[in-house]
């Protein structure tokens, strides 16, 4: 089985748990997700099966949208409500102050990676340093915050935000920095990923729905937004299937060769030629009947 399925992950399970459940449902080990959600988080988890694993890196790079609940007045060691409180503050914050900070928040943002993350430093994951109380200098990386908006009033010292961000943005860290700009501390109490690229929560499926057969499996061609070139002769088909370098007559930095209404290969420019990046020979069916 090949394709992409958009899962609506429930709270309390890991992304790996979702993959394990789908392995059982679809009776395959060729499966993987395209962007981890913490156990406390819910929402869009895009999962690839079979040959679609080859496009995971493209999907992982997509922008993401989240709705998060912010709790003011406490800071935890994990950056979310599941951690231990390490700092508290009773400063009163208004909706107007929040809106001002959000409107002025930089779009290009040098984020400090949370210590409770899987990013590696000197070959060891950061959370391993944290769990063993080993000091480590936290890395930074540049992320983009395309939009940031408060979507509820403060109630019981909590409010909700909606944010559209680039790959690699940790919402826990974003919330801590928002609260720092407010002159207080805060932590993430809830997180729901509502979009990843073109995939939205409205078009996602729970594990229960998938078990009952109520889901849509997307083809690779439905997922990637690259220029398309239709293969219309057998010679070109065989060359692309064999992963040959070809003369560049297409003038696209990167594009997809299409056959049987799906992606046969992804090619990119290479010193005046084009070369294959990914080849999907499992998409070939009824070759003699189509060309």
Q: Which value, to the nearest 10 degrees, does the dihedral of the CA atoms of residues 133, 137, 138, 142 take?
A: 180
> What is the C-alpha separation between 210 and 80, in angstroms, rounded?
30
Q: Does the annotation mark 108 as catalytic? A: no
Q: Give the active site residue among 38, 80, 177, 262.
A: 38
**Closest-CA residue to 249 (of 239, 264, 262):** 239
> What is the C-alpha separation between 217 and 79, in angstroms, rounded?
35
Cβ–Cβ under 8 Å, residues 126 and 117: yes
Cβ–Cβ under 8 Å, residues 191 and 165: no
> What is the C-alpha separation between 16 and 201, in angstroms, rounded?
19
- The first and second tokens of residue 135, run together, are 């000091």
Cβ–Cβ under 8 Å, residues 76 and 86: yes
Listing DSSP states for 4-71 in one string gives EEEEEEPTTS-HHHHHHHHHHHHT-S-EEESS---TT-EEEEEEEEGGGGGGHHHHHTS-EEEEEEEE
Residues sharing a CB contact under 8 Å with residue 41, sequence separation 6 or more, in sequence order = 9, 11, 191, 192, 193
- The first and second tokens of residue 119, run together, are 């990013």
Mapping DSSP to helix (H, G, I), strand (E, B) and coil, where does residue 126 land?
Answer: helix
Cβ–Cβ under 8 Å, residues 77 and 116: yes
> What is the C-alpha separation between 216 and 30, in angstroms, rounded?
18
Return the active site residues.
Answer: 38
């Amino acid at each position: 089985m090949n394709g992409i399925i958009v899962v609506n992950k429930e709270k309390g399970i890991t992304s790996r748990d979702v993959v394990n459940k789908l392995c059982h449902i679809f009776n395959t080990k060729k499966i993987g997700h395209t962007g981890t959600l913490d156990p406390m988080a819910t929402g869009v988890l895009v999962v690839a099966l079979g040959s679609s694993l080859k496009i995971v890196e493209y999907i992982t790079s997509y922008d993401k949208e989240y709705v998060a609940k912010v709790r003011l007045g406490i800071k935890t060691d994990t950056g979310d409500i599941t951690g231990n409180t390490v700092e508290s503050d009773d400063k009163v914050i208004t909706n107007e102050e929040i809106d001002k900070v959000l409107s002025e928040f930089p779009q290009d943002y040098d984020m400090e990676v949370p210590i409770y993350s899987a990013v590696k430093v000197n070959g060891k994951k950061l959370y391993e340093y944290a769990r063993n109380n080993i000091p480590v200098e936290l890395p930074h990386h540049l992320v983009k915050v395309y939009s940031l908006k408060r979507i509820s009033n403060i109630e019981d010292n909590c409010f909700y935000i909606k944010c559209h961000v680039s790959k690699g943005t940790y919402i826990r860290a974003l919330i801590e920095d928002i609260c720092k700009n407010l002159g207080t501390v805060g932590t993430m109490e809830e997180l729901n990923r509502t979009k990843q690229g073109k995939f939205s929560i409205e078009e996602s499926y729970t594990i229960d729905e998938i078990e009952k057969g109520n889901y849509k499996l997307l083809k690779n061609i439905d997922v990637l937004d690259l220029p398309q070139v239709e293969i219309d002769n057998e010679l070109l088909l065989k060359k692309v299937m064999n992963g040959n370098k070809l003369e560049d007559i297409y003038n696209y930095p990167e594009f997809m060769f299409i056959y049987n209404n799906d992606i046969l290969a992804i090619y990119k420019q290479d010193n005046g030629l084009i070369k294959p990046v990914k080849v999907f020979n499992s998409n070939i069916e009824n070759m003699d009947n189509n060309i």
